[in-house]
């Protein structure tokens, strides 16, 4: 009750002083915190006990700027719990290249060595430079207990022999011979949806915990035993040639160890053991189903986090809601890890929306096409350089100021996410209104999450090819039909000159290196060939440039 009074008092002070406050629920010590309606805080322990160790379960950030308030809440938490800010952690190796995941393409029933090789080979032959692959759920030698998707346990430490007759190592080797640089393997944080059988324990020669709730073995939650378990499990994965893992079902820590360990203790030990053991074996982690305090509170090494629900192919509703949730979730989770907006299909009717959202995510970009002959090569080539490098914003995009307290799904407002790309400001706009209404707005630079200096700017609309000049306080008209999107590039005009970039790419400035010479002239180096768009002395100028070419603008 005292805590609730404190939160109410803080909120009243923020309203009076025109400040924003951000509440971040945490897990530490023995407890986990949850924030409910009206800032109600709930605590969960998970074990009957008369004593609770010192536990941090809430961080509060207060500032006149809402973006800074959120960052303050995260930064303060990093001083009390294992959580570390994204910017202080290693960037995962697969972040900058184009990937392919087997999940939506094949699900579990069609997953096999031959189907994976057929699809990846087909994509590469079409000129799609796939550089990493995830072998998702369905590879396991598993036992099914019932006709329910999650009632599956890992029977042996092995792949399904019918799907992978020569084991996992062979498929990894064959993928890398095709030009794939990295291969990841999917598993859940408890190894499989309902755990594993005794044969897995014996093969790894480790201790386990037998869950009477799940009626199977799961990783032990004591720190030393958990480190030993995951280290040996990841050693087996590494020996099969994999370079990273996708760890799913992480929310379940909350329920796995009831009555055996407090939730804070179990979450800390399992998560720290998972991350340390992966690092020992040289594996990066893509975290999934993990947007709960038990997980993110302990991300001191992990640096990629799925911040969306599952992508559902070919569904208009998912295109709206998946994009909506991903953009707003980035407001918090971009401070904790690189946001992952999930895979997508290039021949989805709403692929344009999904593609634009993902290049603004700042996180991994990966497709899940099943039919290479249907792959939208033109769209892919607008977001991927010839060497397989994906174009991404400099920092994970954030929802703009004007929509922080709006609902673009139910209201007539465009969903907007903004970031920087090299020397330019960039903004993606989406019409995700549930009623399919056409929406027109006038966009000012005030809505960006950054302080934009006074001056003149050149703007460019990537899809409509519209161009113009604005002062700092002017507005740009945008009109979008149902589930359409636009990218707005804004480049400062310096000494009468502005550089937009290569118009073949959705982030035109990404393939450029721009330097200011001693005499004030601009040197532009292009990493790939394309059409360079610049502004000079009242005119927009387009001209062809070649890879490695240097251009000096007087």
Query: What is the Cα–Cα distance from 85 to 24, expressed in whole angstroms?
Result: 14
Q: Which of 97, 92, 103, 236 is nearest to 172 (CA)?
A: 236
Q: Is 265 exposed, middle or buried (0-12, 13-18, 19+ CB in 10 A)?
A: buried
Q: Map residue 134 onto helix, strand or coil.
A: strand
Cβ neighbours, 10 Å, residue 290? 25
Q: What distances in angstroms separate CA 237 from CA 73, 169, 183, 345, one per listed residue?
A: 37, 9, 11, 28
Instruction: Please write down the HEC assignment for all residues of 190-238.
Output: CECCCCECHHHHHHHCCCCEEECCCCEEECCCCHHHHHHHHHHHHHHHH
Which of 248, 284, 342, 376 is labelled catalytic?
A: 248
**CB of 306 within 8 A of CB of 340?**
yes
Helix (H) or strand (E) holding 354: helix 351-361
394 among known catalytic residues: no
Helix (H, G, I), strand (E, B) or coil at 504: coil
Pairing label, strands 27-28, 31-35: antiparallel
DSSP string, 248-271: E-GGGHHHHTTTTS-HHHHHHHHH
SS (H, E, C) 70-111: HHHHHHHHCCCCCCCCHHHCCCCHHHHEEEEECHHHHCCCCC
Q: List C-alpha distances in Å: 241 to 111, 166, 244, 472.
A: 19, 14, 10, 53
SS3 514: strand
Burial of 79 (0-12, 13-18, 19+ CB in 10 A): exposed
DSSP one-letter string for 459-490: EEETTT--EEEEETT-EEEEEE-TT-EEEEEE
Helix (H, G, I), strand (E, B) or coil at 539: strand
* Whole-number Cα distances in Å, 338 to 358, 400, 486: 12, 18, 23
Beta bridge partners of 24: 59
Is residue 227 within 8 Å of 276, Cβ to Cβ? yes
Who's near 465: CB < 8 A, 6+ residues apart?
503
Angle value at C-alpha 332, between 330 and 337, nearest 5 degrees? 75
Q: Which helix (H) or strand (E) holds 167?
A: helix 167-177
- Assess whether 17 carries a catalytic annotation: no
The one catalytic residue in 53, 110, 114, 310 is 310
Q: Which strands make up the sheet holding 539-545, listed edge to edge?
A: 497-502, 530-536, 539-545
Residue that is written with structure tokens 């998970």 in the block: 46
Query: Catalytic residues, which ones?
Result: 248, 310
């Amino acid at each position: 009750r005292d805590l609730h009074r404190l939160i109410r008092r803080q909120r009243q002070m923020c309203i009076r002083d025109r400040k924003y406050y951000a509440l971040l629920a945490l897990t530490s010590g023995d407890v986990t915190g949850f924030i409910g309606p009206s800032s109600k805080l709930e605590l969960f322990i998970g074990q009957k006990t008369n004593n609770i160790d010192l536990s941090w379960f809430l961080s509060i950030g207060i500032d006149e700027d809402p973006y800074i308030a959120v960052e303050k809440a995260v930064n303060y938490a990093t001083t009390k719990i294992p959580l570390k800010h994204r910017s202080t952690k290693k960037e995962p190796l697969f972040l900058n290249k184009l990937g392919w995941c087997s999940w939506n393409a094949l699900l579990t029933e069609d997953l096999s060595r031959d189907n994976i090789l057929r699809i990846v080979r087909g994509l590469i032959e079409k000129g799609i430079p796939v550089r990493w692959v995830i072998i998702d759920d369905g590879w396991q030698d598993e036992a099914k207990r019932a006709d329910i998707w999650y009632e599956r346990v890992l029977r042996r430490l092995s792949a399904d022999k019918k799907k992978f007759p020569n084991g996992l190592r062979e498929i990894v080797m064959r993928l890398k011979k095709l030009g794939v640089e990295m291969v990841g393997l999917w598993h859940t944080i408890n190894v499989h949806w309902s755990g594993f059988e005794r044969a897995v324990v014996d093969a790894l020669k480790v201790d386990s915990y037998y869950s009477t709730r799940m009626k199977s073995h799961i990783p032990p939650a004591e720190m030393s035993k958990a480190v030993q378990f995951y280290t040996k499990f990841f050693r087996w994965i590494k020996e099969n040639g994999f370079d990273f893992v996708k760890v799913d079902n992480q929310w379940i820590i909350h329920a796995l160890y009831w009555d055996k360990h407090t939730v804070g203790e179990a979450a800390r030990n399992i998560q720290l053991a998972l991350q340390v053991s992966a690092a020992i074996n040289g594996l990066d982690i893509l975290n999934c189903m993990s947007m709960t305090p038990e997980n993110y509170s302990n991300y001191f090494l992990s640096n990629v986090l799925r911040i969306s629900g599952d992508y559902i192919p070919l569904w208009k509703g998912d295109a709206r809601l998946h994009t909506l949730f991903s953009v707003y979730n980035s407001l918090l989770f971009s401070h904790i890890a690189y946001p992952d907006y999930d895979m997508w299909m290039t021949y989805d009717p709403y692929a344009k929306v999904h593609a634009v959202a993902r290049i603004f995510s700042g996180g991994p970009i990966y497709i899940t096409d099943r039919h290479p002959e249907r792959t939208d090569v033109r769209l892919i080539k607008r977001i991927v350089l010839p060497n397989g490098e994906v174009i991404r914003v400099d920092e994970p995009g954030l929802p703009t100021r004007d929509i922080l307290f709006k609902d673009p799904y139910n209201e007539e407002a465009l969903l907007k996410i903004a970031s920087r790309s090299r020397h330019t400001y960039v903004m993606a706009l989406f019409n995700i209104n549930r009623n399919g209404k056409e929406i027109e707005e006038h966009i000012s630079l005030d809505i960006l999450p950054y302080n934009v200096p006074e001056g003149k700017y050149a703007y460019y609309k990537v899809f409509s090819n519209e161009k113009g000049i604005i002062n700092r306080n002017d507005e740009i008209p945008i009109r979008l039909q149902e589930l359409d999107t636009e990218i707005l590039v804004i480049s400062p005009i310096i000494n009468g000159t502005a550089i937009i970039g290569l118009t073949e790419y959705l982030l035109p400035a990404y393939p450029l290196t721009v330097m200011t010479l001693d005499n004030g002239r601009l040197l532009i180096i292009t990493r790939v060939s394309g059409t360079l768009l610049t502004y000079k002395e009242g005119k927009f100028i387009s001209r062809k440039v070649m890879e490695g070419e240097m251009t000096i603008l007087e």
